[in-house]
Chains A and B, each alone.
Chain A
Amino acid sequence: MDLLLERLVSGLTNGSVYALLALALVVVFRGSGTINFAQGELALFTTFVAWWLTTLGSPVWLAVLASIALGFVLGAGIERLLVRPVQRKNDTAVLIVALGLFTGLNALDALLFGTETKVMPSPFPNGLDDYVSLGGARLYGDALGVWVVLVVLVGLVSLLFRRTRVGLHMRAVADNPESAALAGVPTSRVLALGWGLSGAIGGLAGVLVTPLAPQQLSLTTMFTVFIAASAAALFGGLDSLGGAIVGGLVIGVLEALVTGYVPALGGAMQQTTVLVVIVLILLVRPTGLFGSRRLERV
């Protein structure tokens, strides 16, 4: 029983990491109808900057705020300078731009910060004694912190989309930018805001999840996290905030259980096994668990 609890806690912790980044993917999708494949590397870049600030003596919370702010500026800037010019001509080209950013940002990290692994301090208590016991499992301060941030963030973003004029505009632009513009929605500003918001969430996610990552802060830290986060967003439904959370947690728990109880599969093919399960579900529900079905008038 203790072992099952430990695996569940471990899976939920990994899952909350995936969910946090999946949330950023959903926000940019809901705000612009685009999937940002550079989201993980964007988060990694802002995390490297945050780490660099801590080496200069900055308190870790200040570095977190700087990462969020930088994420917002970079996200909005990328939309304005790189995405918008190509999106007018070809939607698919945006994916290519994002994949270009994926490799470009990683190379920039190597150039600016070197290729050796760094240790990013956590804004939450994460010493060996900073845990609470859940049965036989240990829930550490940094994992608990990610859970709390995730819940708060989902609440705030839900409020933004459902209760504010800006949120309404973002949904309108994502659904049909031409009609939204005809209705007086400032589409340019709304699109930049959507990407900026997503960048800010990614900036927060990066600094919170890096101390939990096995690789710590390295050029490969976000690769596996991003794959799982993308799968979580697709699984939950690309336009569903709750879906991103459920998707992330399901993937985290499935990974932990498959690795723990079916090591023959979970060892070499942990992520593959989980993704195969998700693909099978997507075959039945192509819009994901909670994604909206798109209707078109004919």
Chain B
Amino acid sequence: MNKLDFVDVLPAQQSSTRKSDLTSFEYSYKAEITNVYGLTDTEKLYQIRIINSDQRHQFTFKPGQFVMLELPGIGEGPFSISSSPTRHGDLELCIRAVGNLTNFLGRVPRGTLVGITGPFGTSFPVEEMENSDLLLIAGGLGIVPLRAPLFSILENRSRYKQIDIIYGARNPSELLFTYQYQMWRQFDINLKIIVDQADATWQGPVGLITEILKERIEAAGNDLSRNTYAIVCGPPVMFHFVCDMLINAQLPMQKIFVSLERRMHCGRGKCCRCNIGATYTCLSGPVFDYWSVLNMKEAI
């Protein structure tokens, strides 16, 4: 009687499924939490370094991509990388404590090992945006996915024309990366910050992000049709208003980029948890141009 041969899929020569892809599915880099900075009451900036130096140098990502961070036994979740791509596997992740994983992460000491997989997803086409004006618009936590492209842009500042950052938060205490504003401005960046509710110390404008955007669009003669790109990150309600204004100012929708957030369980286009309509946010996103967003039912 012939026995069926047991096929060991990993060394097998498969045309469609490469060995490296199969073995890497559950593989994660070991990384160490080297530093933690409290940014606000709920957000912390984690500096995470892939331990193996070869892996660290070989780790490359594009601005806008995310990694899956795992704490064994606690959970795994997607976080957009907010450090510069030139830093490779020396990552910075800005994380708000909202769930199981993020709360436990806030309790672990420096030096704790975490698992990192990735990078995953699409990125902001910063090279395509060269020689143009840039409008970087962020609401609340939206500044986090925006920080990686911002680093890329700052490192090549001369390749871009006018750069505006319009950043809105609920109140001054929720503003992130305050210590870097001075540095950004030194790079000839027009940084405008607005809050919903001022406190005693706040001297800047109070109101909605759209008010600042309106001024900027008017300054451009209500015409953004030439030589402008926009990146919009923030809560879903913001997308509607901001993107509508940009389109009314004739900014082509394939020049508007947004980063969408969904709960991902795998990051690899399998589990379907992040699907919008039937689009995998983890594969086709998180960065989409606005044309793709309009084509996805239930996107925003």
A and B pair up: no
